[in-house]
Amino acid sequence: MKIRELIEALKQFPDDLPVLTDGYEGGYEEIRSPKTIEVKHEPQKPYYEGEYQDAEEKSGASLKAVVILRNRRPE
Q: How confident is the model at residue 64 (pLDDT cuts 50, 70, 90)?
A: very high
Can you tell me whether residue 9 is helix, strand or coil?
helix
- Is 75 a domain residue? no
CA angle 69, 33, 58 (to 5 degrees): 70
What's the domain range around 37? 3-67
User: pLDDT tens-digit profile of 3-60?
Assistant: 999 999 999 999 999 999 999 889 999 999 899 999 999 999 999 999 999 998 788 8
The answer to whether 5 and 12 have CB atoms below 8 angstroms apart is no
Residues sharing a CB contact under 8 Å with residue 8, sequence separation 6 or more, in sequence order: none
In a domain, 52, yes or no: yes
Q: What is the DSSP letter of 71?
A: P
Residue 63 belongs to some domain of the structure: yes
Q: How many domains does the chain have?
A: 1
pLDDT at 9: 95
